[in-house]
Amino acid sequence: MEKWFNEIIDENVFDIGARTSIKIGKTLFEGQSEYQKLEIVETPKFGRMMILDDCVMLTDAHEYAYHEMMAHVPMFAHPKPEQVLIIGGGDGGTSREVLRHESVKRCVMVEIDGLVVEKSREFFPALTTGLDDPRMELRIEDGVKYMEDKVDTFDIIMVDSTDPVGPAEGLFSKDFYKKVYAALKPGGIVVAQAESPYYFQKTQRELFEVLREVYPYTALYLSAIPFYPSGTWSFAFASKQHREDSQPRWEDMKAMALELEYFNPEIYKACFALPNFVKRNLQF
């Protein structure tokens, strides 16, 4: 008999009224950490799939559309990113993309849930290639606490979190973004996964209210990710100084695009174009 996984994010907390169903095969791992429920299953069409608290996190087939867009947009907006911090990102995909950049001297990844890292190493070898890079500093601890005493330290901070319920709740607060601001160098940029522009309009408004109180420049950019609710996902971009159009490194983008599945210079420019309903919701 056919088995289908039905994402039930809507029945949890967000009453979306729509969900994605994905045909699945064997369950490879199922377990409960201190923080969340983790499942890893096979799918006949999309490779392996990771599910956290009943929400699809990634599939082998489409993970690049998230990880490349989270990492390369801020990295290429910055003239020379050397010190990078990833909050969350336990599956390793974002760090893999960050470490493609030769300018990077250190990439700190602070993931609260060691089980996600452990099982990603086991079941998603293509995502975790960066974890053993000598420039990588992997810490299993609370990202909010890690930030407490960091001042003027990072060029880029990436908030690669789950939804703003459960372990990631604190990562959408003003207090957190003030700490991020302090931890960034003067030319620093923060990006954060910012949910679906179709289904999470209130969450987005609240996030930008916070960001605009703390940062002089904010923007939103989009990526097409099939298994995230609505199929379109967004990332918040906030900085002390650099805008996405200040001094992007076009030639470097062009070269790196050759080894990527999604990101390229045209996409860099295009992803900041927002439909009217998004602009109106966020007053862009």
Contact 224, 65 (CB under 8 A): yes
The span from the CA of 213 to the CA of 121, in Å, is 38
Structure tokens at 114: 């060691």
The span from the CA of 228 to the CA of 234, in Å, is 10
Q: Which of residues 193-212 bind its own copies (CB under 8 A)?
A: 198-199
15 lies in the binding site for its own copies (CB under 8 A)? yes
The length of the chain, given as a count of residues: 284
Query: CB-wise, 127 or 180, nearer to its own copies?
Result: 127
20 lies in the binding site for its own copies (CB under 8 A)? yes
Interface residue with its own copies among 76, 177, 200, 263 (CB under 8 A) is 263
Contact 4, 23 (CB under 8 A): yes
Which residues make Cβ contacts (< 8 Å) with residue 261, sequence separation at least 6?
64, 65, 68
16 lies in the binding site for its own copies (CB under 8 A)? yes
Tell the smallest beta-carbon distance from residue 243 to its own copies (Å): 15
Query: CB-wise, 44 or 79, nearer to its own copies?
Result: 44
Of 254, 261, 255, 186, residue with least CA distance to 217: 186
| Number of other CB atoms surrounding residue 117 within 10 Å | 19
Contact 40, 28 (CB under 8 A): yes
19 lies in the binding site for its own copies (CB under 8 A)? yes
46 lies in the binding site for its own copies (CB under 8 A)? yes
Interface residue with its own copies among 13, 126, 151, 270 (CB under 8 A) is 270
Size of the site for its own copies (CB under 8 A): 46
Enclosing H/E stretch for 138: strand 136-140
| Number of other CB atoms surrounding residue 150 within 10 Å | 16
266 lies in the binding site for its own copies (CB under 8 A)? yes
Tell the smallest beta-carbon distance from residue 110 to its own copies (Å): 29
The span from the CA of 162 to the CA of 166, in Å, is 8
Active site residue 160: yes
Tell the smallest beta-carbon distance from residue 88 to its own copies (Å): 23
Tell the smallest beta-carbon distance from residue 132 to its own copies (Å): 26
Query: CB-wise, 125 or 275, nearer to its own copies?
Result: 275
- Point out which residues bind its own copies (CB under 8 A): 4, 6, 10, 15-23, 43-46, 62, 65, 198-199, 222, 224-227, 230-232, 257, 260-264, 266-267, 269-277, 279
Q: Which residues are annotated as catalytic?
A: 160
